[in-house]
Homo-oligomer: A and B are copies of this chain.
């Protein structure tokens, strides 16, 4: 007896989230037990609005699956949508009516913290109402802040973008004979994992970034200026990496004045921490000061993706399908690091209730005592995650991605 399944994506984009989608589709279309695999457009909203595509139809050949694996952002679109807290809300009935009508026996949700909350609620509803459907979460986030998993898909590629960009910025910085301070702002609201990855840019001739500031440690303007001046005494060109979410001793974001409100989850929309610091530095030191925001390319530039990351993301998707077949539900898949050198990882899973609405920050001992750099342990953790380069297909000088006409209308 065959059944249908449905998959959706939610939260912020990464370069690896489509690779997980490709993994689910690949496993589903190759399974004799599956009739159709649907894709809900704009996360769970597609289920609520009857807005979906037939993925079994769109991805019949390996070529399209392989193109999806190297397509950035989210083929199915996203949403930032919280389900009602009350499970008796008609929302839930509507969702499960849709599942029943479409003969859907498995729902896969690829997302971060907030999406795992949706998975937890739907799984609970299914259990409490005896619904015959498996609900599984597949992690993704460039922030690497999900608990229960060694790291998150999407993080390795973003980390590789950050590390390569810091190396390129170093080459761009050292060319002038005059002293300079360059401040690079990296994504990360409450967790500094991505900013920590800037330290991977260091090599035999490049010691920068010279100072690294993470949200895990309160930022002192006084100590920062002291450290900067000390560094400028021994080094002509100083490069500083900061998380967008660093806060001062009073818990205020550096960019507080520049805040542009909150998103629909109530998170502050950040941006401008580097600009704020640029102004501070300009008043304190007498040299060229510039700030650079690495911006959305951190999460969407496929040409900097990590093959290790994309392959793990694909494998998570495939494994999610297999676990659903085995009857698992209410879980989030996880990545385990089985060996550090050589790096070996495997796929496992955990109860999604252990994951939802929690945030994993960097352990304090992976940050140096002064709070302006990371330790060798941190670097050892990061290094394997950026390994390998995916093979992109280019046409007329640009990468070939999956057609997303269904989103651009």
Chain A positions within 8 Å of B, measured between CB atoms, are 13, 42, 45, 71-74, 77-80, 160, 163-165, 167-172, 174-177, 200-201, 203-207, 236-237, 292-293, 295-297, 299-304, 306, 308, 383, 386-389, 394, 396-399, 401, 403-405, 407-409
Contact = CB atoms under 8 A, between A and B. Distances in A.
Kindly list the 3 A-B residue pairs having the minimum CB-CB distance in the complex, ordered from nearest: A386-B397, A73-B171, A205-B405
Given A165-B297, A388-B397, A389-B397, 17 more contacts: A13-B175, A42-B175, A42-B176, A73-B171, A77-B177, A79-B176, A163-B397, A163-B398, A164-B303, A169-B296, A169-B300, A170-B408, A205-B403, A206-B404, A207-B408, A237-B408, A303-B304
Contact of A72 (B71, B171, B177, B297): B171
**Which of A207, A237, A304, A388 has most B Cβ within 10 Å?**
A304
B168 A302 contact: yes
12 contacts: A72-B172, A77-B176, A164-B303, A168-B296, A171-B300, A172-B296, A200-B397, A201-B398, A236-B409, A292-B295, A303-B304, A389-B397
Contacts of A203: 398
A308 B300 CA distance: 25
A224 B333 CA distance: 48
Contacts of A42: 175-177
Contacts of A303: 164, 303-304
A312 B375 CA distance: 43
Q: How many copies does the complex hold?
A: 2
B237 A174 contact: no
A173 B408 CA distance: 9
A74 B170 CA distance: 11
A36 to B, nearest CB: 23
A73 B407 CA distance: 38
A306 B397 contact: yes
A108 B163 CA distance: 33
**Which of A169, A175, A203 has most B Cβ within 10 Å?**
A175
Contact of A389 (B207, B394, B408): B394
A46 to B, nearest CB: 9
A171 B401 contact: yes
A296 B292 contact: yes
Contacts of A394: 389
Contacts of A308: 397
A294 to B, nearest CB: 8
A277 to B, nearest CB: 14
Nearest to A17: B175
Contact of A79 (B71, B160, B171, B177): B177
**Which of A45, A80, A408 has most B Cβ within 10 Å?**
A408
Contacts of A387: 396-397
A164 B398 contact: yes
A409 B201 CA distance: 17
A213 to B, nearest CB: 19
A45 B177 CA distance: 9
Contacts of A405: 204-205
Contacts of A205: 403-405, 408
Contacts of A164: 301, 303, 398-399
A177 B41 CA distance: 9
B204 A403 contact: yes
Contact of A408 (B80, B206, B293, B301): B206
A193 to B, nearest CB: 16
Contacts of A237: 408
Contact of A175 (B78, B201, B297): B78
Contacts of A170: 408
